Amino acid sequence: MWKYEKKLQYPVKVSTCNPTLAKYLMEQYGGADGELAAALRYLNQRYTIPEKVIGLLTDIGTEEFAHLEMIATMIYKLTKDATPQQLRDAGLSEHYASHDSALYYENAAGVPFTAAYIQAKGDPIADLYEDIAAEEKARATYQWLIDLSDDPDLNDSLRFLREREVVHSQRFREAVEILKEERDRKKIF
């Protein structure tokens, strides 16, 4: 089961209402390399991965939900005071027509989230390499978002999230080594 904590993992502040930035951030909300895809990918892989890696997938998958909440908070804060005209200027009129100012699991181009973004191969090395690639793609996306953003408060939170991708990638690389070591040991005996 899961337990909700009534706090963000890291503070999220935004300087001004900025629906254009919110639109870009949707890439990390419902996009292919976003936080929802990450959380669902890792938590789903747990059931068929060797025992030594289950804890890591559980804990990183859980942290991704905390990141999803941070992204949601950013989008919420950047759009909550926006007028329909401001949303239209930001290219969000199609979003507004269907969702008003509600959040929706879609990418920056408005494409809805799909489970086709994630894989579950059942092969531990294949799954972990996908996880490493996912973290590196998410890190790159955060870099592009920071480059696009001119909001210093928002960038502080985005930098935190970018660093987390680096740490997760590192831990997944260690998991690969642990599994390789275990496999080689089995061959010897």
64 labelled binding-site residue: yes
CA distance 134 to 127: 10
Contact between 9 and other proteins (CB under 8 A)? yes
Considering only residues 140, 174, 180, 183, which one is a binding residue for other proteins as defined by CB under 8 A? Answer: 174
Contact between 175 and other proteins (CB under 8 A)? yes
- What tokens were used for 161? 């999230």
Eight-state DSSP code of residue 100: T
CA distance 54 to 43: 9
81 labelled binding-site residue: no
Q: Which residues pair with 112 in a beta bridge?
A: 106
Contact between 4 and other proteins (CB under 8 A)? yes
Residue 58 neighbours by CB under 8 Å, 6+ apart: 42, 43, 46
Name the minimum Å distance from CB 124 to other proteins: 14
Looking at the annotation, which residues are catalytic? 35, 64, 67, 135, 165, 168
> DSSP letters of 131-183?
HHHHHHHHHHHHHHHHHH---HHHHHHHHHHHHHHHHHHHHHHHHHHHHHHHH
Contact between 186 and other proteins (CB under 8 A)? no
Piece of 10-18, 104-112, 115-123, 132-140 that binds other proteins (CB under 8 A): 10-18
Considering only residues 43, 72, 120, 146, which one is a binding residue for other proteins as defined by CB under 8 A? Answer: 72
Site of interaction with other proteins (CB under 8 A): 3-12, 55-56, 59-60, 63, 69, 72-73, 76-77, 80, 167-168, 171, 174-175, 178
